[in-house]
Amino acid sequence: MSVTYIDAIREAQAKLLGEDERVFLYGQDIASFGGAFKATKGLAEAFPGRVFDSPISEDAMVGLAIGAAIEGMRPIVEMQFADFSSIAFNQIVNQAATHYYRTGVPIPITVRLPSGGTPGSGPFHSQSMEGIYAQYPGLIVLTPATVSDAYHMLIDGVALDDPVLYCEHKFLYRWLKAKSINGEHLPIGQARITRPGKHATVVAYSAMVHEAVRAADRLLEESGWEIEVVDLRSVKPLDMDTVLASVARTGRLLALGEAFPWGGVTAEVVSRVTEEGFHLLDAPPQRLNARDTPVPYHPKLWAAHRPTPESICDALRRLLSF
Amino acid sequence: MSVTYIDAIREAQAKLLGEDERVFLYGQDIASFGGAFKATKGLAEAFPGRVFDSPISEDAMVGLAIGAAIEGMRPIVEMQFADFSSIAFNQIVNQAATHYYRTGVPIPITVRLPSGGTPGSGPFHSQSMEGIYAQYPGLIVLTPATVSDAYHMLIDGVALDDPVLYCEHKFLYRWLKAKSINGEHLPIGQARITRPGKHATVVAYSAMVHEAVRAADRLLEESGWEIEVVDLRSVKPLDMDTVLASVARTGRLLALGEAFPWGGVTAEVVSRVTEEGFHLLDAPPQRLNARDTPVPYHPKLWAAHRPTPESICDALRRLLSF
Amino acid sequence: MLRSRILENKLSSLYKAGKIVGGVYLGKGQEAVSASLGTALNPETDVFSALIRDQAGRIAFGEPLLDCTRSYLGSVEGPMRGRDGNIHRGRPKEGMPAMISHLGSQVSLVTGMLFAKRLKDPTSRAVGATCVGDGATSTGSFHEGLNVAAVEKLPLVVVVANNQFAYSTPNYRQFACGDLVERARGYGVGGFSVDGTDLIACATVMREAVRRARSGDGPQMVVAQVLRLSGHGEHDDGSYVPEDLRSGHYGRDCIEVAIRQLTDRGIVTVDEIMAWQEQNAEEVQRAVAQAQQEQAPDPYQEDWSALSTRFPLCQSGNQPIAQ
Amino acid sequence: MLRSRILENKLSSLYKAGKIVGGVYLGKGQEAVSASLGTALNPETDVFSALIRDQAGRIAFGEPLLDCTRSYLGSVEGPMRGRDGNIHRGRPKEGMPAMISHLGSQVSLVTGMLFAKRLKDPTSRAVGATCVGDGATSTGSFHEGLNVAAVEKLPLVVVVANNQFAYSTPNYRQFACGDLVERARGYGVGGFSVDGTDLIACATVMREAVRRARSGDGPQMVVAQVLRLSGHGEHDDGSYVPEDLRSGHYGRDCIEVAIRQLTDRGIVTVDEIMAWQEQNAEEVQRAVAQAQQEQAPDPYQEDWSALSTRFPLCQSGNQPIAQ
Ligand SMILES: Cc1ncc(C[n+]2csc(CCOP(=O)(O)OP(=O)(O)O)c2C)c(N)n1
Ligand SMILES: Cc1ncc(C[n+]2csc(CCOP(=O)(O)OP(=O)(O)O)c2C)c(N)n1
Ligand SMILES: [Mg+2]
Ligand SMILES: [Mg+2]
């Protein structure tokens, strides 16, 4: 028996619905159909009157969730794809994100964003928006990379009183499996050393953690370099203690992400490390992101658009050569 | 006789309407009323049939402009406030920004974003969104800081074949004056050394250029430090040559912005400098941004939310103490 | 509505005297619409999401005068503590959400409050109301919100105060149907038209719309024809409103009309009205004076956090205030 | 529409054989609606912004078969050069905008194309058309776009193909009015209802809607009742569509109906149809074969730039491809 990443997301929602009557699910095609990716399969039947199909109205979906949160509920909104949250952008960044600061009333909503690229998905079903939302004050942005984190961080995220963007990676949905969901359970706001090493640190999150580990394995085999991989787990808040401690050990930093290359998570990580840990660095910190074009449709272009174990190895070799 | 920053914006639009029949203006209250800030005052009368009042429909305003651009026009869309472009977010980042890459047909639209804070404007009439839009491939993001740049960059921006976000700072509208608009005319994509110096570099843009100059004046007077101020002029593209050359001279970098502190322009600048010019740095590069809360309404809170000459001086003193 | 007018006149003079920073947005001429909506609701159970021109409705729904004066004058004691101001105020936990500026956005928010109330108690008879202008009907957010409320058959009352202009933009540049009430059928919601300068007509229609919503008929849309008797904000003289409109039927002052209605019917006497006026003027004066003597927010005391959650492992990244 | 059906059947088998990556989205059962719209337009002057289920309309409007097969099969020769695929294709400069996925977004884009055409030539008689589904009518973008077109009185034809479902979501979870055509009046636009399984009815209504738009009557909205005879995409079996709907009136195959209509009236013979079928099958086969033998895009040759402008002073920031 094994559990996939998407199983974990479904199980977390089942547990939440079962244990907290304030939780309900709202989104397109999530009730009897079980969602475009089946993340809510069976939940409408198991929890009657708690799982609702919405019209194609992302702005209103989030607006409704915010209103319900004011009334004490803990709605989970499923975007069919993260990319469509651009329609709900205003409700997320202006209504939900500002509400606590303005009124003192927090907004415990969780918006699930099926994120990241898969082959053939093209420019509008592949985006990684964590770096966009993290720019706004008042939002918490989670980016689980493991089956166990997918489970625990969804549960812990819903328990937070503030608005949470839960960025789940579509590529991991069925590809990533674990024996059980009872992995190590860290609190939100704490990063994880996924793979210890001593020659360089790769700071990654979500699907890129796995690509980083692959690259690290390859470099170890090829040339004996021991690469440490840090999984941020949440990009806002950012656990700089763990990141800086790792850079203190290795002296070298590669910030790795799947989003577009201007700004975003990797820029924030590099900036924070250089501001706060400049003296720890033995070489210029590097970034590796997707290319500065929309995510291409064709699998051959897609594979060259995002970082791969090959391009990560290249970047690490450059980093290690300083 | 003097020209204000907003005069320059109006004059640029008058010139564009006069010289290029492909240009038209579209926005709320911009025709006979002349716009909320009077940036189009008199233009509807001077150019009949070229300046249009739109419904309160930011998504459709930008969608309309994109369609018109496909047909060969060069629309300029006025958002009443940059903050309301959140409603047009999808059309900007998904329709306009991806169009050239996907279809080979560029989209020469210009969206004017009245940006930045002024006292009493509050969370929804004060935002600086340049760091949000710059994250997306396919957009050009201009941030003029001077009267002359306000004029020339609007004209040059409209001449570009790609979508332009023109971030004009509301605080500069009437406060910033020049003898004439015939200042130095640099191409888009080139930064400017606003104030030469040798002990540290402040990289800024838009209204923060002026705050940086004030801080630099103060430090010179107080303690003889000579601070160089670089005005980025456009945040995407980023002229790293000018920035790196300045850091090469000074060895110290403060990246300064008025936007929220996570990610954004200052993180991109610090990351690029450390990646490409690590060896030039004599001290950890620093950032100074607004605080990580919505922009507060009350002038006293507002003044403590954004960087001020005082807080810039503090940051510079820290930077110079390394 | 009388109290609202007195309060707004006071706000206008404070603005003109430079005592209010930002803007002042008045509901002059729209008091009958707003107040009769506020009156038709039950402040104990219902929700009222006031918009720009709803001072009268706020008062009718029970918002204390001090909430208004404190927000405008930036007192740290107000519900927004100086973090937001003017019309962007509310007490969400007491059925008064605080509007964001983005027009149309409150429709789905109120819908969500009603959705939650029904989930928590299927027998809930709470109604939720919000006002929008003619201009706000052009927003996608209005459309999505009203449609969702209709699909869910929630007890939402949306009042469109069609004051013929959105800022300077006249109706014919905003929509192309004859009357916005024609939209109701397309959403599958109830529709009402009313002369917004006629208090008794407004009171009747609002009561009926709220009754229908409460009794399970789903969302109701009321379109009231009015004219604002002020600029868009107090910085604006509204000179784009043509003279014939100002001097026409909707240019009449709903408060004068109401006074005539009430006195003609013998419901109140002119003396009583004079007495109210005086009493209200005093109350307004007190609310202004109190807000003015209260502290402004102090950036050194301010808790600069946009989250209610604190993450002990992560620093805030916020810089200290320069001395 | 026959050609469309043959092409789509082929795409479906290619998908099932694993030759197409991503998704395949068919218009089976909606060909009469789409083709009659495409036919009613003038490809020389008009605009047709096809949506998900418009293969038949694309063909009728003149899109080459190869555009379809190349986009689905990822040939670098196609109009999207492998950068985008499947239904996200077009030739914007030839009156065929390429849809983005975000539903509703094309309405204002076509509106803008028409706005520009009129600005460039006030005597322009070009019409612009786009299709949306029942689900897309719930988007704010649809609302804003149609309203702007109505205010500008532009010659826009919006066809709502109401196939009773948006993915798995039935009409009653999408809107609350009886028939979406009831929305037309609220926008101040013309409204038509039609049985989308009846080719002759569709052709008549589309021609009339296009004629009215062209003659200056402003936007026209056509609501066609249909059922899709496939899943949402070829990954979906559409099992959520209840049996009684499938076996009901709208479950009939519009192509069979059309063949019966045309042969009954003696417009074509069964033999002629068989011949068309064969000819089309051959053409489809050729278009598939050609696209299949063409090159895929090469990441090393790819111009990785999202801007047409090059800034000589600024590096791209793009990393080289790892070897
Ligand atoms: C989405 C959005 N766009 C623009 C604005 C700027 N704005 C504030 S009020 C206003 C006019 C509103 O008109 P209407 O809805 O008719 O209300 P009224 O002011 O007439 O009461 C505009 C354009 C806004 N608040 N929100
Ligand atoms: C704004 C937006 N939200 C969600 C989606 C995901 N999505 C793609 S097609 C679809 C259903 C569309 O239904 P409808 O408009 O009725 O068209 P149909 O597929 O029935 O032809 C959905 C929800 C989308 N494309 N755009
Ligand atoms: Mg109005
Ligand atoms: Mg449908």
Dig out the tokens for A114 from the structure: 């099926």
Q: Does A297 touch chain D (CB under 8 A)?
A: yes
pLDDT at D315 exceeding the cut of 70: no
Contacts of D67 in chain B (CB under 8 A): none
Summarize pLDDT for C15-61 with one digit per residue, the tens. Answer: 999 999 999 999 999 999 999 999 999 999 999 999 999 999 999 99
Peptide bond into B106 cis (omega under 30): no
CB contact under 8 A, C139 and D138: no
Residue D163, ligand 2, Cβ within 6 A: yes
Structure confidence at residue C315 (pLDDT): 64
pLDDT at A15 exceeding the cut of 70: yes
What's at D216, amino acid-wise?
G
- In our burial notation (b when 16+ CB lie closer than 10 A, e otherwise), range A15-37 reads bbbeeeebbbbbbbbbbbbbbbb
CB contact under 8 A, D175 and C153: no
For helices D270-293 and D65-73, what crossing angle results, to 10°?
40
Region of A184 on the Ramachandran plot (φ > 0 left; ψ -120 to 50 alpha; else beta): beta
Q: What is the mean pLDDT of residues D163-188?
A: 98
CB contact under 8 A, C141 and A63: yes
Alpha helix segments (H runs only) across chain B: 5-19, 43-46, 58-70, 89-90, 97-103, 130-133, 147-159, 172-175, 207-223, 240-250, 264-277, 299-305, 309-321
Nearest to A87 among B90, B136, B285 (CB): B90
Q: How far apart are CA D312 and CA B274, in angstroms?
A: 22
Dig out the tokens for C23 from the structure: 């803007």
Summarize pLDDT for D143-162 with one digit per residue, the tens. Answer: 999 999 999 999 999 999 99
Decide if A71 contacts C116 (C-beta within 8 A): yes
- Closest by CA position to C291, among listed C68, C89, C84: C68
pLDDT at C318 exceeding the cut of 90: no
Residue A56, ligand 2, Cβ within 6 A: yes
Q: How far apart are CA C44 and CA C180, in angstroms?
A: 31
Report residues near ion ligand 4: CB below 5 Å.
D 133-134, 163, 166
Structure confidence at residue A183 (pLDDT): 79
Decide if D46 contacts D156 (C-beta within 8 A): no
Residues 79 through 118 of chain A touching chain B, CB cutoff 8 Å: 83, 86-87, 89-90, 93-94, 97-98, 101-102
What's at C310, amino acid-wise?
R
Dig out the tokens for C70 from the structure: 């404190």
Contacts of B156 in chain D (CB under 8 A): none
Number of Cβ atoms within 10 Å of the Cβ of D99: 24
Running DSSP on this structure, what letter comes out for residue A200? E
Q: What is the mean pLDDT of residues C64-88?
A: 97
pLDDT at D163 exceeding the cut of 70: yes
Residue D52, ligand 2, Cβ within 6 A: yes
Decide if B185 contacts B130 (C-beta within 8 A): no
CB contact under 8 A, D83 and A296: yes
Residues of C with CB under 8 A from a CB of B: 21-23, 74, 80, 82-86, 88, 100-104, 135-136, 138-141, 166-169, 173-175, 240, 296-299, 302, 304-306, 316-319, 321-323
Residue showing tokens 């409007």: D61
pLDDT at C102 exceeding the cut of 50: yes
Report the first-to-last Cα separation within chain A, whole angstroms: 46
Alpha helix segments (H runs only) across chain D: 2-16, 31-40, 55-61, 65-73, 105-120, 140-151, 183-187, 199-214, 243-246, 254-264, 270-293
- Closest by CA position to C91, among listed C74, C70, C112, C67: C67
Running DSSP on this structure, what letter comes out for residue A135? T
- Phi/psi for A236 (5° steps) reads -145, 110
Residue showing tokens 């009357």: C179
Number of Cβ atoms within 10 Å of the Cβ of B49: 9
Nearest to C183 among D151, D175, D186 (CB): D186
Helix (H) or strand (E) holding A214: helix A207-223
CB contact under 8 A, C105 and A94: yes
Confidence of residue C321 (pLDDT cuts 50, 70, 90): low
Best mutation site among C11, C19, C21 for testing chain B: the one with the most B CBs within 10 Å? C21
Percent of chain C, pLDDT > 70? Answer: 97
Q: What is the bridge-based pairing of β-strands C47-49 and A253-256?
A: unpaired
Residue C163, ligand 1, Cβ within 6 A: yes
Rounded to two decimals, the pTM is 0.98
Q: Does B239 touch chain D (CB under 8 A)?
A: yes
Peptide bond into B237 cis (omega under 30): yes
Q: What is the bridge-based pairing of β-strands B227-231 and B234-236?
A: unpaired
pLDDT at C317 exceeding the cut of 80: no
Following CA atoms B285, B290, B291, B295 in sequence, which dihedral angle do they give, to the nearest 10 degrees?
A: -170
What's at D321, amino acid-wise?
I
Structure confidence at residue A184 (pLDDT): 83
Q: Does B276 touch chain C (CB under 8 A)?
A: no
Q: Does A23 touch chain B (CB under 8 A)?
A: no
Q: How far is the CA of B315 from the centre of ligand 4 (A)?
A: 57
For helices D65-73 and D2-16, what crossing angle results, to 10°?
10
Residue D102, ligand 2, Cβ within 6 A: yes
Helix, coil or strand: residue D159: strand
Summarize pLDDT for D197-223 with one digit per residue, the tens. Answer: 999 999 999 999 999 999 999 999 999
Protein residue with its CA nearest to atom 26 in ligand 2: D102
Nearest atom in ligand 1 to C105's CA: 1
Residues 111 through 150 of chain B touching chain A, CB cutoff 8 Å: 123-124, 131-132, 134-138
Contacts with A180 (C-beta within 8 Å, 6 or more apart), sequence order? A3
Q: Domain D2-318 in CATH: superfamily?
A: Thiamin diphosphate (ThDP)-binding fold, Pyr/PP domains (3.40.50.970)
Nearest atom in ligand 2 to A124's CA: 25
Q: How far apart are CA B168 and CA B141, in angstroms?
A: 11
What's at A8, amino acid-wise?
A
CB contact under 8 A, C101 and B315: no
Q: What is the bridge-based pairing of β-strands C165-166 and C169-170?
A: antiparallel
Following CA atoms D25, D29, D34, D40 in sequence, which dihedral angle do they give, to the nearest 10 degrees?
A: 160
Chain centroid offset of residue A154 CA: 11
Running DSSP on this structure, what letter comes out for residue A295? P
Q: What is the bridge-based pairing of β-strands D47-49 and D128-133?
A: parallel
Percent of chain D, pLDDT > 70? Answer: 97
Confidence of residue A313 (pLDDT cuts 50, 70, 90): very high
What domains can you pick out in chain A, each with its CATH number?
3-178 (3.40.50.970), 192-321 (3.40.50.920)
Structure confidence at residue D323 (pLDDT): 44
CA atoms in the 13 A half-sphere facing the CB of D312: 1
Decide if D196 contacts D178 (C-beta within 8 A): no
Decide if D281 contacts D6 (C-beta within 8 A): yes
Q: How far apart are CA B219 and CA C322, in angstroms?
A: 15
Nearest atom in ligand 2 to D174's CA: 16
Residues facing residue A3 across a β-bridge? A178
Low-confidence ranges of chain B (pLDDT < 70): none
Q: How far apart are CA A142 and CA A4, in angstroms?
A: 18
Tell me how far CA of residue A210 lies from CA of A151, A176, A206, D320, in angstroms: 18, 10, 8, 22
Q: How far apart are CA A14 and CA A171, in angstroms?
A: 22
Question: Which chain B residue lies closest to A236 (C-alpha atoms)?
Answer: B262
Dig out the tokens for B294 from the structure: 């919505």
Confidence of residue C322 (pLDDT cuts 50, 70, 90): low
Average pLDDT, chain B: 97
Confidence of residue D317 (pLDDT cuts 50, 70, 90): low
Q: How far is the CA of D27 from the centre of ligand 4 (A)?
A: 11
Dig out the tokens for C248 from the structure: 């026409």
In DSSP notation, C153-177 reads T--EEEEEEE-SEETTEEGGGT--S
Contacts with A135 (C-beta within 8 Å, 6 or more apart), sequence order? A263, B131, B132, B259, B260, B262, B263, B264
Q: Does D153 touch chain C (CB under 8 A)?
A: yes
* Domains of chain D by residue range: 2-318
Tell me how far CA of residue A179 lies from CA of A146, A175, A211, B5, C18, in angstroms: 12, 13, 20, 63, 68
Best mutation site among A64, A84, A297 for testing chain D: the one with the most D CBs within 10 Å? A297
- Closest by CA position to D75, among listed D26, D20, D25: D20
How many residues comprise chain B? 322
Residue showing tokens 């532009």: D154
pLDDT at C190 exceeding the cut of 80: yes
Chain centroid offset of residue B293 CA: 21
Confidence of residue D319 (pLDDT cuts 50, 70, 90): low
Percent of chain D, pLDDT > 90? Answer: 96
Summarize pLDDT for D108-126 with one digit per residue, the tens. Answer: 999 999 999 999 999 999 9
pLDDT at C323 exceeding the cut of 60: no
For chain A, helix (H) and strand (E) counts, in that order, are 13, 14
Q: How far apart are CA D71 and CA D48, in angstroms?
A: 18
Number of Cβ atoms within 10 Å of the Cβ of C224: 30
Q: What is the mean pLDDT of residues A104-125?
A: 97
pLDDT at C301 exceeding the cut of 50: yes
